[in-house]
Amino acid sequence: MGSINAGLFIALDGVIEAPQTWQGGYFNDEMGAAVGGMMAGNDAMLLGRQTYDEFAAYWPSADPADPITAQMNGTPKYVVSTTLDKADWENSTVVSGDVKAELLKLKQEKQLGVTGSATLVRWLLQEGLVDELHLLVHPVAVGAGKRLFEPGEKVQLRLIDSTAFSTGVLHLVYGPAS
């Protein structure tokens, strides 16, 4: 049986939007190893529409000497979207219709990794489909931006693992509470 594992960069105040603007000097070899480890165990990527659009605009023409380029382009990708008819990026498939049923089928066969895709991650958590939620918590309060959880939203999780990096970033791994 497979799983769905999601990973997000997050600020202390819960902001997940545009981490490239606030994570500054926090990304180091420790964080790179953690991100690489999250990606290495996956058979396929699960992406929301916005993240797919961003990745599909960048990775197909990225530096081929970068080993991540080959991984990003060669890995099977499943794009959850109600508006996308087809996905042109190499090895991409659109998931629509009864998304939960489709993801449950995929989860039976594959280890699916979600990178970014905050709206999708929020929905997956609400539906009880996330097996592991990896949060890379940065020691910065951003003040404004999209947050992982909406005000008043309740999601119960249990801590599986935690690691503190030398930069002050915490890698927290959560699973379902039950």
Sorted by sequence, the CB contacts under 8 Å of residue 33 that are 6+ apart come out as none
* End-to-end CA separation in angstroms for the chain: 18
Sign of CA dihedral 111, 90, 37, 165: negative
Q: State residue 73's pLDDT score.
A: 92
- Give the integer Cα–Cα distance in Å for 174 and 164: 15
Quote the percentage of the chain above a pLDDT of 90: 69
Q: How many domains are there within the chain? A: 1
Q: Is the pLDDT of residue 6 over 90?
A: yes
Domain of residue 127 covers 3-176
Q: Is the pLDDT of residue 36 over 90?
A: no
Write the CATH number for 15. 3.40.430.10
H or E element that contains 109? helix 99-109
Q: State residue 127's pLDDT score.
A: 94
- Give the integer Cα–Cα distance in Å for 6 and 173: 10
For the whole model, what pTM was predicted? 0.91
Q: State residue 57's pLDDT score.
A: 95
